[in-house]
Amino acid sequence: MRCLRVLIVNQKGGTGKTTLSVNLSSGFNQRGATVLLDADPQGSASHWAKISRDATDLAPIERVAAGAVQDRLKNLSATHRYVLIDCPPHLDSDLLRQVLSQVDLVLIPIQPSPLDLWASIGMAALVHEAHISHPQLRAYLVLNQIDQRNALSRSLHEALASFELPVLNNGLTRRAAFRNAALEGCSVYRLGNRAASAVNDIEAIIEEVLNL
């Protein structure tokens, strides 16, 4: 059984790494044994899981120092179907390069605003370099906090096209459900009907990456 190792990274803070990590890992956990490595010293994903006393819908979350991610990956990939890694912002570039050589898929959440795009160009270039030396590595930008009322502007499409990395077809819309899940210490799956659209966002991303 092969393990899919997914790194969720952006050296910029607040782009949705933890939101994406926690909800995706919950969806993956419904498909096969999953663990989420929380490599952020701030421990946001771990705090998320502690809010609810009965977080049965969340995948197990394990805190790990960024420098220890590679070792944990080796062990966990033998016993798990999916391992996700929620990265800290300001992750050291050398460490990032090392981890990139050990994962299968990189997801870079990014907000569709010029400031966020500019802030992520350097890191996307680093991921692209890693892809050249490890062609089996797949890497995608994932749009987050998409405004459901407005289509992406043409200038934004042009800015996205200037990245050397492709954009996943599916992204996350800005929805209260994503904030509420964090407030309640659960995933959007647990929120029932009021989060159906948010669940659809997450499921669409999972199905897209499983079919890459």
Ligand X SMILES: Nc1ncnc2c1ncn2[C@@H]1O[C@H](COP(=O)(O)OP(=O)(O)O)[C@@H](O)[C@H]1O
Q: Contact positions toward ligand X, by CB under 6 A?
A: 13-19, 44, 144-145, 172, 174-175, 178-179, 182
Smallest gap from Cβ 86 to Mg ion, in A, equals: 6
Spatial separation of the C-alpha atoms in residues 94 and 100, rounded to whole Å? 10
Residue number with CB closer to ligand X (82 or 112): 112
DSSP β-ladder status, 61-63 and 105-110: unpaired
* Residue 174 binding partner per list Mg ion, ligand X, none, with a CB distance cut-off of 5 to 8 Å that depends on partner kind: ligand X
18 binds Mg ion (CB under 5 A): yes
User: In angstroms, how far is CA 119 from the centroid of its own chain?
Assistant: 17
Residue number with CB closer to Mg ion (44 or 120): 44
Smallest gap from Cβ 187 to ligand X, in A, equals: 13
List Cβ neighbours of 195 (8 Å cut-off, separation of 6 or more). 175, 177, 180, 181, 188, 189
* Residue 43 binding partner per list ligand X, Mg ion, none, with a CB distance cut-off of 5 to 8 Å that depends on partner kind: none
* Residue 34 binding partner per list Mg ion, ligand X, none, with a CB distance cut-off of 5 to 8 Å that depends on partner kind: none
* Residue 175 binding partner per list Mg ion, ligand X, none, with a CB distance cut-off of 5 to 8 Å that depends on partner kind: ligand X
Smallest gap from Cβ 174 to ligand X, in A, equals: 4
Site string for Mg ion, 38-57 (x = CB under 5 A): ------x-------------
- The footprint of Mg ion (CB under 5 A) covers 17-18, 44
